[in-house]
Amino acid sequence: MMQKIALISFILIFIYLYLYVKLESFDGSTITTIPQNTNPLPTFAIPTIKPDLPISNQLSSEIARVLRISKRRISNLIFKGDISSGKLQVMFNILDPNAAEIVNNESMSKDVAMLAHTLTLNNNFKVLINGISIMLDKIQTSNKDINKFFDNTNLLDITDYSNSKYISVPNDESLTKFYKLNIDKNFNIVPSI
C-alpha cells in the first residue's frame, strides 16, 4: 500500500513539474542580458522606464519621489490631460505617515501638501513618465456642490429673509401647544392638550 502511494505521488510530482516547465515556456517573456559597463567612470542613478506599468502607478510613484514620501501616502489620484503634451492636471490626497515612515523622517501631510502647492505655483512640479518629462498642475475644481440639482441664488435670499422674519415674529404659546395621546381608565386612547 505504501509503495503505491509513493509511486502515485512520484508520478504526480513529475506531471506537475512537466506542466510548470511547459507553461513557463509559453508565457511570452524573454530573458535579456544587460551588457556589462566597461567604462570606469561612475554612473549616476537614472530613473528606470517601465512602460508596462499603468500611467496611474507611474504617476503616483513619481509624485511620491518628487515630494520625498512613500508611494503609499498618495491616495485618490485623479489626472487629466495627455502625456504627449507634456502637461497633466492632477488631484490627490496625501495620507499621514505611519510609524515606519516617521522613523524614516518623512514629513507630515500638511508640510507635504504645502510643498506640492509651492511646486505647482512655481511650475516646478515635474515628473518622468515613460521617459517624458511632464509638468503637473492642479485640476481646477468648481466651487459648486455636485449634490445640488439646481443653482438658484435667489432661493438663498428667500431663505435668509424667511429666517429673519421667523425669528422676529413673537412666539404665541397657543401656536406651540400640541395634542397628546393619553390612555383613559378603559384603555382607550384619548387626545388631550
Q: Which residue has the higher pLDDT, 120 or 23?
A: 120
Which tens digit of pLDDT belongs to each residue from 115-165? 998 998 898 899 998 888 999 988 877 655 555 555 666 777 777 777 776
The model's confidence at residue 77, banded by pLDDT at 50, 70 and 90, is confident
DSSP string, the chain: -HHHHHHHHHHHHHHHHHHHHHHHHTS-----PPPPP---SPPPP-PPP-TTS-HHHHHHHHHHHHHTS-GGGEEEEEEEEEGGGTEEEEEEEEPPP-HHHHHTTPPPHHHHHHHHHHHHHTT--EEEETTEEEEEEEPPPPSS-TT-S---HHHHHHHHHHHHHHHHSPPPGGGS---EEEE-TTS-EEEE-
Give this prediction's pTM: 0.49
